[in-house]
Chain A
Amino acid sequence: MDLSVEIGSLRLRNPLIAASGCFGYGVEYADMVDLATLGGIAVKGLFLAEREGHDPPRIVETPAGMLNAIGLQGIGVHRFVDEKLPELRARNATVIVNVCGSTIDEYVEVSRVLSDAEGVGAIELNISCPNIKAGGMTFGCSATGTRDVVQAVRRVTTLPLIPKLTPNVTDVAGIAVAAEEAGADAVSLVNTFLAMAIDVETRRPKLSNGVGGLSGPAIRPIAVRMVHECRQAVQIPIVGMGGIMTATDVLEFMIAGATAVQVGTANFIDPTIWPKLLASLEEYLGRHEVARVRDVIGTLELTEHKGWSNS
C-alpha cells in the first residue's frame, strides 16, 4: 500500500503531520514515538529571537475542545537550528518549520536562516496565530496581507512554502487564492478559532490573555467545510486540520480535498496516536481496494451515489 503524498517538491512518507504547537520541537516525543514514521513534524512557531509568551493560565478546556493562548513562546530560529534540528535530522524526521513574524522583514529573515540550514523540509508561514498583537493573524486576515508576506518570503527560499490560514475570516477561499497567486506551494488550514471562556464566579476571563484559540473536535466540521471551499478555489495542495482524532477524521479531510493532514490537540490526549491512525488508514484503503492513499484526495461525491460501497 502506498501511503506517500507530495506537497510541492516535498515527499511525505504518509499524510500524517504533527501540528505546530502541539508536538514541541519534536524531540520531546522521541522516546515514545519513532519520529521517522510520521509524515512530518510541524515544530512550534519560531520568531527570529527567543520569546516568553503569555503568563499562565494559558489553556482551558471547553466542550470537546480547548482554548489556548500560549503567545508563541519559543527559543528563536537560531537556537532551533543549533540545538534541535541536528537531533531531528539524526532521527530522520521530515521537518516543517512554522515561521512567525511581527513584520514582513522578520518572516523573510527567519525563512532565510532556515533555507541555509540542513534538514528543513518545508516552511509553514504562520500568518494566522490569534494570540499575538503584532504580526500573525493581522497578515492572514486579508488577501493583501497574505500576498505581501508570501511574495516576500518566496523571493528568499526555494523550500516548499505553506502559508497557514486563519479560519477567522468570512472568505477563507479568497485568502487561499491570494496565497496561491503569490507563489505558495500549498496552504494549510485551519489555525485556531478566536474564542473566550469566562469564570462566572470571578467574572474574569479564564485565560490570562483574555481570549484564545479554540482547537479540538469541536471545530472539525467547520474546518472540513473550509478545506472543501479552498479545494474548489485553488490548484495547490491543501494540508487540512482541526479536531482530527481518528482515521475517519483524516479521511474526511482528505476526501474534502486535503493532500495531507495535521493532528494537534489529539496528540495531547494520545501521544502514541500515530501508529493507530496509520493502521486504521490502511485498513480503510484495503477495504475499499485503493492502492494509493493519494487516490482518496478530493474524491468527494456531490452527485448521486456511484462511488465506493460502504461495505
Chain B
Amino acid sequence: MPVDLDARVVSNVRLSADYNVVHLEAPSLAADAEPGQFVMVKPTFGLRPLLRRPFSIFELLTDAGGTPTGFSLLNKRIGVGTELLYRVEIDQRIGCLGPLGAGFAAVDPPETAWMVAGGVGLAPFLTLASELKRRGTPARLFYGSRSAGDLFYLDAFTRLDVRLVLTTEDGSQGEAGLVTTPLARELERAEATRPTVYACGPTPMMRAVAALAATHDRPCQVSLEPVMGCGMGGCYSCVVPTRATPDAAVHLVRGCIDGPVFDAQRVVWDRLAPVA
C-alpha cells in the first residue's frame, strides 16, 4: 500500500555535473517496495514545479540489522524538478508518495536475467539485481552511456555477482557504440542460457531491445517513462498504447498502475509519445 510522507534527506552525493544520488529516510515506504516500483516525488512545497515527478526506487536502505530505513533516488538533471533534486540539502524534507506501480517479475534459476540500461535507465536495476541474487538467478547488466564519466555504481552491481557489459558512445570505457550492439551479439550466442531481458532507458533503445528480444524469441520486460500527473490512476495522463496480441485492437492503459513495467511485446511502439 502506498504511503505519503515527507522524507528527510540523509545525503546528496553528486556523481557528476548532471547525476546525483539522494538518500532519503522513509522506513514505511521502503518496507513495502518491490523492484521496478516508483515514487512520486515533490521536490518543493512551492508551486514550481507544481506536480510531483516519478522516480524509480534506486537502492533500498537498511540499518545494520537489515531493517528498512529508506531508499535512494538516482537523479539526472534535465529540468525544473530534477534541478531542485540535484541541489537538495541534508535534513531538507522531500514529499514522497509510494511505492507505486507494477514492477519487474524476477525470474528464477535455471533461467538467467539480462538487464539492459541506458543512462539514467540504470535506476530500477539495482533493486532487481538484489532480488535476482536472492533467488540465485545468474544476471548480466548491459549498460551504455555517453562516456566513462557517466557510468555509475559498477561496483555495487559487481558485488551482487552481476556480470557487466559496458558501452560508451565515445569509446572512453567498454565497447564503443550503443548498448544494443553487444546485446545483439550475445543473444546470438545465448541459445543455451535462454535469458529473460529487462530494459530501461531512452525509448529508441528500449524499442531496439524489444525488437532484438522478439527476434530471438526471448521474453522482455521494459520499464517505460510516460509523463505522469498523479501516479495513482487518477488522471489518465500516463497512458501507454498496448495490445494483447499482434492482431488485437490497441488499448491505452495507465502506465502508473498497469506499468511502469510492461511486457515489451504488448507495447505498440509506433504510438508511444515521442519524448522531447
Contact = CB atoms under 8 A, between A and B. Distances in A.
Interface residues of A, number: 38
A21 B233 CA distance: 10
Contacts of A32: 1-2, 4, 232
Interface residues of B, number: 34
Contacts of A59: 227, 229, 235, 237
Interface string A262-294: 000101111110000000000000000000000
Given A59-B235, A70-B235, A268-B229, A53 B252 contact: yes
Contacts of A271: 4, 97, 230, 232, 234
B50 A66 contact: yes
A236 to B, nearest CB: 29
B106 to A, nearest CB: 24
A130 to B, nearest CB: 16
A208 interface: yes
Contact of A58 (B48, B50, B237): B237
B251 interface: yes
Given A22-B234, A31-B1, A57-B227, A269 B239 contact: no
A58 B232 contact: no
Given A32-B1, A56-B226, A268-B229, A63 B48 contact: yes
A59 B273 CA distance: 11
B23 interface: no
Given A59-B237, A208-B273, A66 B4 contact: no
A270 B42 CA distance: 9
Contacts of B227: 56-60
B274 to A, nearest CB: 8
B174 interface: no
B78 interface: no
A22 B235 contact: yes
B52 A28 contact: no
Interface in B241-276: 241, 250-252, 257, 271-273, 276
B202 interface: no
A301 interface: no
Interface string B193-237: 000000000000000000000000000000000110110111111
A contact face: mostly helix, strand, loop, or mixed: loop
Contacts of A22: 230, 234-235
Given A29-B234, A59-B227, A269-B42, A53 B51 contact: no
A310 to B, nearest CB: 25
A193 interface: no
Given A32-B4, A268-B51, A24 B273 contact: no
A22 to B, nearest CB: 6
B47 interface: yes
Contact of B51 (A23, A57, A61, A70): A61
A145 B72 CA distance: 54
Interface in A63-95: 63-66, 68, 70, 73
Contacts of B230: 22, 267-268, 271
B224 to A, nearest CB: 11
A55 interface: yes
Interface string A99-126: 0000000000000000000000000000
A52 interface: yes
A70 B50 contact: no
Residue of B48, B236, B241 ringed by the most chain A CB atoms within 10 A: B236
B273 A55 contact: yes
A268 B273 contact: no
A202 interface: yes
Contacts of A44: 236
B232 to A, nearest CB: 6
B237 A52 contact: no
Given A21-B235, A28-B232, A73-B236, A64 B226 contact: no
Given A199-B276, A201-B276, A268 B252 contact: no
Interface in B34-56: 42, 47-52
Given A28-B233, A66-B50, 14 more contacts: A24-B235, A28-B257, A31-B2, A44-B236, A56-B252, A59-B235, A64-B48, A66-B229, A216-B50, A217-B47, A268-B51, A268-B234, A269-B42, A269-B52
Interface of A: 21-24, 28-29, 31-32, 44, 52-53, 55-61, 63-66, 68, 70, 73, 199, 201-202, 208, 216-217, 265, 267-272
